[in-house]
Amino acid sequence: PVSKTVLVTGGAGFVGSHLVDALVQENDVRILDDLSTGKRSNVNEEATLIEGDIRDSETLDRATENVDLIFHEAGVVSVQQSVEEPMRANEVNLDATLALLERARDLDARVVLASSCAIYGQPTEVPISEDESFSPSSPYGLQKSALDHYALLYEELYGLETVALRYFNIYGPRQSSGDYSGVISIFKRQATNGDPITVDGDGEQTRDFVHVDDIVRANLLAATTEHVGEAYNIGTGDSVTIRELAETIRDVSASSSDIVHTDPRPGDIDESEADISKATEKLGYEPTIPLDEGLSSLL
């Protein structure tokens, strides 16, 4: 493949930094990140870091100069934070995305965007297909719905090559283990420290956990697909209950932590599992890391 000038927004973050690692060999890679949740230690030394706020138009101009391809991973990723600060989350997740799409339109650069299964809210059926209606239950989900829809509109209206990837529950190395983070990194921290593993509610809720390396593969496929102007579910097509997850993590880490049940989380999704047939057919995406394997290598 020809070497490209590639921008990864959020390239110091969890997903973005893994993507950068996969891109640097063949491409000239630039990162835009304000290091608010991303870390300098995640930044691949072969990439160029532009440290700044994506909401700032001069910073965005500098970051997008001469790029051929953009992976947009920057955002306020915590649902809870979006509930606490809906306006800031909207500025980062939506206003900045629109500004980025405008730059891409000037440059005629393909944009692969991080969308989310949060757009579906409580699904009417599982597995969840892309035809499921949008019914977000958080500002985060609403912002991602609009981002996702804007991506498709930019293809329809302006012929810009866009692909929206609707990520399910991502886990893997470098995911932060703070309170705003994903359940796997939280359970891992609790199991390692011998603290109680905190299952919200009865633990019967299900999730489709997809390893970050598979997310990277999906992004690389989206970068070259001819099927643009489309959104794709990216998960594994399998799911587990949170109770099972807690038990597996305790076993794999040989921990003696207790598993405790706390109050259910308000607005929690009961069942989530991706129908990935569209991504398989059109992108050639196949998940390669089953959960037990991903967990053993993580713990």
Nearest to 162 by CA among 229, 95, 74: 229
Closest CA to 103 of 146, 148, 66: 66
Residues binding ligand UD2: number (CB under 6 A): 20
Closest distance to ligand UD2 from the beta carbon of 16 (Å): 15
List the structure tokens of 217: 């593969």
Q: Look up tokens 């796997």; give the residue.
A: 184
Contact call for residue 200 and ligand UD2 (CB under 6 A)? yes
Tell me the per-residue interface mask from 74 to 93 with ligand UD2, x by CB under 6 A, - otherwise.
Answer: ---x-x--------------
Which residue stretch of 16-24, 92-100, 200-208, 222-230 sits at the interface with ligand UD2 (rule: CB under 6 A)?
A: 200-208
Token pair listed for 219: 């992004």
Stretch that binds ligand UD2, among 42-50, 110-118, 247-255, 286-294 (CB under 6 A): 110-118
* Candidate residues 69, 107, 191, 199; the one interacting with ligand UD2 per rule CB under 6 A: 199
Give me the catalytic one of 120, 140, 154, 232.
Answer: 140
Say whether 180 is catalytic: no
Q: Measured from the CB atom, is 95 or 200 closer to ligand UD2?
A: 200
Residue 249 interacts with ligand UD2 (CB under 6 A): yes or no? no
**What is the distance between the alpha carbons of residues 233 and 228, in angstroms, rounded to a whole number?**
14
User: Does 299 help bind ligand UD2 (rule: CB under 6 A)?
Assistant: no
d(CA 38, CA 11) in angstroms, rounded, equals 8
Minimum Å distance from CB 198 to ligand UD2? 4
Is 205 a binding residue for ligand UD2 by CB under 6 A? The answer is yes
- The span of 94-102, 115-123, 219-227, 278-286 binding ligand UD2 (CB under 6 A) equals 115-123
- For β-strands 206-207 and 240-241, DSSP reports them as antiparallel
Q: Does 242 bind ligand UD2 (CB under 6 A)?
A: yes
Stretch that binds ligand UD2, among 6-14, 48-56, 116-124, 145-153 (CB under 6 A): 116-124
For ligand UD2, the closer of residues 63 and 242 by Cβ is 242
Which is closer to ligand UD2, CB of 128 or CB of 223?
128
Residues lying near ligand UD2 in the complex (CB under 6 A): 77, 79, 116-118, 169-170, 181-183, 186, 198-200, 205, 207, 242, 265, 268-269
Active site residues: 140
